[in-house]
Homo-oligomer: A and B are copies of this chain.
Amino acid sequence: MDEKRQTSEQIAELLVHVGRTSRSEDSRSALTAAQWTCLRFFARANGSTRTPSGFASFQATTRGTASQTVKSLEKIGLVTGTRSDRDRRSVSFDLTDQGHKMLAQDPLRDLIEMIDTLKTADRDRFLATISLLASTLSNRRGLPAFGTCQDCSHFGLSGDTAYCACMAEELAAVDIPKLCASYMPTPRPQSQGDQNGTD
């Protein structure tokens, strides 16, 4: 009983600790933690989501702060913005070549490589648990969930073209595995499909 509680505390603290130390190795990192997160986010979010507002809600910060972060990345040439045609207020950002080059030096690489060395089964279980924690946490906090289009309840296939019911439009193939701010989790029937391929 108290044993359980202590284990949970330990896990929580380790989670925070690992997250914290992974974000920006020391302060001699090329970018700040917020800048890295933004760069990563823009690399992984779909067109209508990689905007200042999208990043603001992803980071649970204000639009003003998010705008500053984006602007700083634009100033050093890592991202470029283009105004949307459908909505002339909206600006969508893309990584430049330099941006991609910088992303290759993401301090998170250390952690990622370390996770890569885990056994496949361990990694999958770990992913399942942390996903659960993340989604439960964010909707307990009232924060919007972020997920990929392919996992979204707005997602549909008619023939061989993907479709987003939320945008009410066709979905480019490249956007299917990307993050979307309008993500709605599909009611899921508990995970199955074990793959017993060990690493």
Chain A contacts to B: CB under 8 angstroms: 4-23, 25-26, 37, 40, 44, 60, 108, 110-116, 118, 120, 122-127, 129-131, 133-134, 136-138, 140-141, 143, 177, 199
Q: Can you show 20 pairs from A to B with CB atoms below 8 A apart?
A: A4-B199, A8-B112, A8-B115, A11-B115, A11-B123, A13-B40, A14-B131, A15-B18, A15-B22, A15-B130, A16-B23, A16-B108, A18-B130, A111-B133, A114-B140, A115-B133, A122-B125, A125-B126, A126-B126, A126-B130
Interface of A is mostly: helix
Complex CA–CA separation, A31 to B198 (angstroms): 36
Number of copies: 2
Is the pair B134, A4 in contact by a Cβ cutoff of 8 Å?
A: no
Q: Which of B19, B123, B133 contacts A114 (CB 8 A)?
A: B133
